[in-house]
Structure 1
Amino acid sequence: MNKLAFLLLGILLTSSSGQKSELDDIRLVIFFSVDQMSPHLLNQYEPLYTGGFRWLIDHSIQFTNTHYEHGYTATGPGHFVMASGQHPGPNGILGNYWYDRELKHTVSCVEDTVSKVVGYEGDARSYRQINTNTIGDWLKNRHPDSKVYSVAGKDRSAAMMGGKHADLALYYNWRGSFITSSYYIDALPEWLIKYNKKLNAVSYRDSLWTRSLPFEVYDRYAHEDFLEGESDRYHSEPYSPVFPIGFDADASDKDVVEGFFGFPWMDRATIDLAKVIVHEEGLGQDKNPDILFVGLSATDAIVHDYGPNSHEAMDAMLKIDRCLKNLISTVEDVVGLENVFFVLTSDHGGLALPEYRQKMGLPGGRISRPERKTAIQDVFILLEKHYGSSNFVVNDGLGFYYDLGRMREMDIKKTDVDTIIRESVEKVTGIARVLTKDEIFSSHSGDTVLARLKNSFHPVKSPDLWILQKKYWVTKYPHGTGHGTPYDYDTHVPLLFSKAGQKKTIVSRKIMMVDIAPTIAAMLGINIPKGIDGVPITEMQK
């Protein structure tokens, strides 16, 4: 552990150390993040929960109007916010991936070109490139012997939650194993090797995902099982996105271990590994409070494919409910629930399938991928026509990046290029506006959409132009749904703080997700860094 880093961190912190904690008996904080869990997913099926969700809800202070206040709502930025208490853009977290002007290629938000994967194949990931600290780092500054672990299906979820000084961040490698990088450790713990061997993801080749409850229960709480717009996991049969769901008969081993990620089995495996960590690493066993972050990533793939109102999304939540019950029971036996504090939230919300919204008489649609592709191709054709070259503009996702130095050499006006791109892209059905970086940075708090986009932008790293889709339109095409906008349905997430003995309480006032980390810090009596965007939630200090 870097002692100098902790010393410098301590200098930046406020002087609140030594104050009595609101929860002096807490020895373990368990932080659950369920990927793309809109409030609908938690609330719609609440009457059916009998396990972990049931316990967490019944023993919670629940904040029903909680929002992210950044505009590009995705996994990397969301997990950064919940752990750091800061908006992502000013800290250089533009999304899950973005185009790096200096490197001239797309990079991951948890890129680590220095570290190596330990013991397995996969990508080395960590918090190395991020300069700010997280709740786990604040905790270790106050209690150096505290332990901070994170486990998730996605690498960006695990690394973002764990922070700079996590003892270990584990994530799925899409090859059948949970892995980590040499940023954290040099050799794998024996318990992880045993766990991966037992997991044996390739053995799920002949497994089928089936419903947990009778069909009629799903018909009562969700839309019909066959709905146009859902994705179909089977590729060698006619389109039929219904239960049961498995792998094609000719699926390769690679297909199976990669596809495993998109089934409820992935989240069960993550929760099972969290139980192993509690046991093997002795979490919550002394006066130094520990933190365990658990990121359930399969829900994102499932909701992307089938939508939040589907039989599949409903069943995924029911299966998580059962698995969380087992984890909570384990924690009760090992640590004692009176010594544990739980947080439940999500990294972003999401939108119902456009076809479902249309069926319900609500606005919504899909942005045609071919139409969008043609519009972008037209941009580069026009640039070539006007300037004899287009190599000063790069399109990456929803952004256009300019080589301003090259443009100056060619005496090209930025505003002229803006106009060419806007006139082409804004013709695409479902596109609201093409915004310049200057427009976003000059926005005021009265414009919620632009204010949120501003919190996703960095003055140097962000694109020069940004494509904003219309409200209730998705870029997923031709099936599935998505997120990533500054609209309320993507920023709105559940937030529960749960503890044994807590009476169920509902708070409806608006809360910002940047408030979570400082709230946990205040409750544990640890220092909160100056200059972060969030503040402790008042209701949690009573």
Structure 2
Amino acid sequence: MTSSPGQKSELDDIRLVIFFSVDQMSPHLLNQYEPLYTGGFRWLIDHSHQFTNTHYEHGYTATGPGHFVLASGQHPGPNGILGNYWYDRELKHTVSCVEDTVSKVVGYEGDARSYRQINTNTLGDWLKNRHPDSKVYSVAGKDRSAAMMGGKHADLALYYNWHGSFITSSYYIDALPEWLIKYNKKLNAVSYRDSLWTRSLPFEVYDRYAHEDFLEGESDRYHSEPYSPVFPIGFDADASDKDVVDGFFGFPWMDRATIDLAKVIVQEEGLGQDKNPDILFVGLSATDAIVHNYGPNSHEAMDAMLKIDRYLKNLIATLEDEVGLENVLFVLTSDHGGLALPEYRQKMGLPGGRISRPERETAVQDVFILLEKHYGSSDFVVNDGLGFYYDLGRMREMNIKKTDVDTIIRERVEKVTGIARVLTKDEIFSSHPGDTVLARLKNSFHPVKSPDLWILQEKYWVTKYPRGTGHGTPYDYDTHVPLLFSKAGQKKTTVSRKIMMVDIAPTIAAMLGINIPKDIDGVPITEMQK
């Protein structure tokens, strides 16, 4: 069932929605460098309704679940989206959130990905239900970003294949459009072998806004002997072609390529050219790799944002020429937040730490040794990431009590420095709504598919090891992201009340005057309906 169509007012002229998701862009990452923006970020901020207290309300804050929320208006867990990957009990192996074993890759090598396995409809699907001639396109560095945002009936979802090209699967089309073949040839990712990533502004500016360029805890991916995580950054002389096209993903050039491809889609597919509103989702994925490697307060993260600011300026200029900015609604947000490097937090006198991978792996190994000792077997338990999955049928056959296994795992794993608790699925599902952490984890859990035990790390601790930083927790620093709705003629306004990220899709639907499903978790944001 659906509600009545949303009410449109002065926004009746929206012919194109451009939805930007900048991967792992915390509010700090966007706002820290705002005085330096002169391009696309500057325009989007100056013409925005900016919401400063926006949070995801699920616990495993990762790319797949985040982009699912953005497009569907629903929490991920109950819909079977447990993470980027998870262990499938029936298949007995790890699967991708956008797994597609039916489709084939079209035109290039890589993995066929799509929305095939997901039953939930999304914003693009709602739009096409109301306006069958509307177009929905999605492009991102990551396959899960593109497929999740595009939804079930996207005209095309494009993603990088880690071999130098943007690809798609036969779920969407059987043959590549000529413009994509031409674009990939022009991209020529392997030619970046001799390129260097250098600063956009003088060193002194970075020294003023970011922490020092050489900070213990940053990853060193160029001339790493001796350890020296500093600009400039490029590819080592002995890098293979595969190393180059794979490593390309971790440079701002990846986001430039994505934005350039977005321009091509607008021009070649004629987006925003009639009264049937179109949507183009643009996922900028390189920021995630950059922040993971260097932290959000680094020279590298700062420079990536400054470069995106410049790249977006070019896209906005194209949209002005092709569509007219008065006909475009922009949305800017992220799929999850993130945490500063533990070493930086410690230097600033703040709590934080890094969970030792060897210590955690030893604890898991000990768990299986203990299970073997108690039961003569351990094949009824699988560890995948932060979860432990039980074969309950096998446990019944062996007359093994679930609570006894819970205790064995808990007592050993909770000794690992930086791990707060090991939670049972029952504890998560029976949690009180007032417990924000457990309530968010509940929104990440499925009653059947989810693990039986889940490892919750201490607040301000990361699992990234031995360097870099991470995300994925139910804590506010991982759930908090920016949210801007921008349009030509809009005066900058700021709203500080709390907004849930499940509200974004129904808000856009209401602004476009399309039906909003009644069974979703989000509601239109009232400030955007005036």
Q: Which runs of 4+ in 1 moved over 6 A?
A: none
Following superposition, the deviation at residue 234 of structure 1 comes to 2.0
Q: Structure 2 residue aligned with 1:213, among 198, 201, 204? A: 201
Distance 1:102 1:451 in 2: 27
Contact 2:459 2:475 in 1 (8 A): yes
Contact 1:21 1:525 in 2 (8 A): no
C-alpha offsets along residues 427-472 of structure 1, whole Å, 9 cap, x if unaligned?
0000000000000000111000000000000000000000000000
Contact 1:126 1:159 in 2 (8 A): yes
Distance 2:287 2:6 in 1: 40
User: Which stretch has the larger CA shift, 20-29 or 82-91?
Assistant: 20-29
Contact 2:5 2:510 in 1 (8 A): no
Which structure 1 residue ranges, 5 or more long, are not aligned?
1-12
Contact 2:37 2:306 in 1 (8 A): yes
Contact 2:106 2:175 in 1 (8 A): yes
Residue 517 of structure 1: SS of its match in structure 2? Answer: helix
Distance 1:452 1:47 in 2: 34
Distance 1:442 1:18 in 2: 36
User: Which stretch has the larger CA shift, 130-139 or 234-243?
Assistant: 234-243
Contact 2:329 2:487 in 1 (8 A): yes
C-alpha offsets along residues 285-327 of structure 1, whole Å, 9 cap, x if unaligned?
0000000000000000000000000000000000000000000
Q: Structure 1 residue aligned with 2:391, among 403, 407, 412? A: 403
Following superposition, the deviation at residue 165 of structure 1 comes to 0.3
Following superposition, the deviation at residue 530 of structure 1 comes to 1.2
Contact 2:343 2:353 in 1 (8 A): yes
Distance 1:89 1:376 in 2: 25
Contact 1:367 1:429 in 2 (8 A): yes
User: Which stretch has the larger CA shift, 15-24 or 207-216?
Assistant: 15-24
Distance 2:517 2:103 in 1: 28
Distance 1:164 1:392 in 2: 35
Following superposition, the deviation at residue 265 of structure 1 comes to 0.2
Contact 1:67 1:512 in 2 (8 A): yes
Following superposition, the deviation at residue 423 of structure 1 comes to 0.5
Following superposition, the deviation at residue 228 of structure 1 comes to 0.1
TM-score, L = length of structure 1: 0.97
Contact 1:115 1:181 in 2 (8 A): yes
Distance 2:274 2:225 in 1: 55
Contact 1:22 1:524 in 2 (8 A): no
Contact 2:5 2:516 in 1 (8 A): no
Distance 1:501 1:185 in 2: 38
In the TM superposition, 1:124-523 aligns within 5 A as 124-234=112-222, 237-523=225-511
Following superposition, the deviation at residue 20 of structure 1 comes to 4.1
Following superposition, the deviation at residue 18 of structure 1 comes to 7.9
C-alpha offsets along residues 492-527 of structure 1, whole Å, 9 cap, x if unaligned?
000000000000000000000000000000000000
Provide closer, same or farther for how the CA distance between residues 136 and 244 of structure 1 changes in structure 2, counting only shifts above 3 A: same
Provide closer, same or farther for how the CA distance between residues 401 and 450 of structure 1 changes in structure 2, counting only shifts above 3 A: same
Contact 2:6 2:512 in 1 (8 A): no
Contact 1:136 1:148 in 2 (8 A): yes
1:43 matched to 2:31: yes
Contact 2:50 2:484 in 1 (8 A): yes
C-alpha offsets along residues 138-175 of structure 1, whole Å, 9 cap, x if unaligned?
00000000000000000000000000000000000000
Contact 1:343 1:496 in 2 (8 A): yes
Residue 23 of structure 1: SS of its match in structure 2? Answer: helix
Residue 24 of structure 1: SS of its match in structure 2? Answer: helix
Distance 1:14 1:111 in 2: 29
In the TM superposition, 1:16-55 aligns within 5 A as 16-17=4-5, 19-20=7-8, 23-55=11-43
Following superposition, the deviation at residue 15 of structure 1 comes to 4.1
Provide closer, same or farther for how the CA distance between residues 454 and 541 of structure 1 changes in structure 2, counting only shifts above 3 A: same
Distance 1:82 1:301 in 2: 20
Contact 1:32 1:294 in 2 (8 A): yes
Contact 2:52 2:483 in 1 (8 A): yes
Following superposition, the deviation at residue 237 of structure 1 comes to 2.3
Provide closer, same or farther for how the CA distance between residues 326 and 491 of structure 1 changes in structure 2, counting only shifts above 3 A: same
Distance 1:461 1:470 in 2: 25
Following superposition, the deviation at residue 17 of structure 1 comes to 3.2
Match of 2:83 in 1: 95
Contact 1:22 1:525 in 2 (8 A): no
Following superposition, the deviation at residue 194 of structure 1 comes to 0.2
Provide closer, same or farther for how the CA distance between residues 532 and 187 of structure 1 changes in structure 2, counting only shifts above 3 A: same
Distance 1:157 1:235 in 2: 31
Contact 2:352 2:460 in 1 (8 A): yes
Following superposition, the deviation at residue 63 of structure 1 comes to 0.2
Following superposition, the deviation at residue 22 of structure 1 comes to 5.2
TM-score, L = length of structure 2: 0.99
Distance 1:21 1:127 in 2: 33
Contact 1:80 1:88 in 2 (8 A): yes
Provide closer, same or farther for how the CA distance between residues 18 and 507 of structure 1 changes in structure 2, counting only shifts above 3 A: closer
Distance 1:413 1:142 in 2: 52
Distance 1:160 1:238 in 2: 41
Residue 120 of structure 1: SS of its match in structure 2? Answer: coil
Distance 1:416 1:253 in 2: 51
Residue 509 of structure 1: SS of its match in structure 2? Answer: coil
Following superposition, the deviation at residue 14 of structure 1 comes to 1.9
Contact 1:78 1:348 in 2 (8 A): yes
C-alpha offsets along residues 323-368 of structure 1, whole Å, 9 cap, x if unaligned?
0000000000000000000000000000000000000000000000
Provide closer, same or farther for how the CA distance between residues 259 and 91 of structure 1 changes in structure 2, counting only shifts above 3 A: same
Distance 1:286 1:18 in 2: 20
| Superposed CA RMSD | 0.8
Residue 158 of structure 2: SS of its match in structure 1? Answer: strand
Following superposition, the deviation at residue 16 of structure 1 comes to 1.3
Following superposition, the deviation at residue 238 of structure 1 comes to 1.2
Following superposition, the deviation at residue 260 of structure 1 comes to 0.1
Distance 1:443 1:62 in 2: 32
Contact 1:138 1:526 in 2 (8 A): yes
Q: How many residues align?
A: 530
Distance 2:129 2:10 in 1: 19
Following superposition, the deviation at residue 235 of structure 1 comes to 5.8
Residue 468 of structure 1: SS of its match in structure 2? Answer: strand
Provide closer, same or farther for how the CA distance between residues 388 and 246 of structure 1 changes in structure 2, counting only shifts above 3 A: same
Contact 1:236 1:248 in 2 (8 A): no
Distance 2:318 2:10 in 1: 25
Following superposition, the deviation at residue 253 of structure 1 comes to 0.3
C-alpha offsets along residues 192-237 of structure 1, whole Å, 9 cap, x if unaligned?
0000000000000010000000000000000000000000012652
Distance 2:2 2:380 in 1: 46
Which structure 2 residue ranges, 5 or more long, are not aligned?
none
Residue 395 of structure 1: SS of its match in structure 2? Answer: strand
Residue 494 of structure 1: SS of its match in structure 2? Answer: strand
Distance 1:248 1:457 in 2: 42
Distance 1:332 1:444 in 2: 49
Contact 2:135 2:271 in 1 (8 A): yes
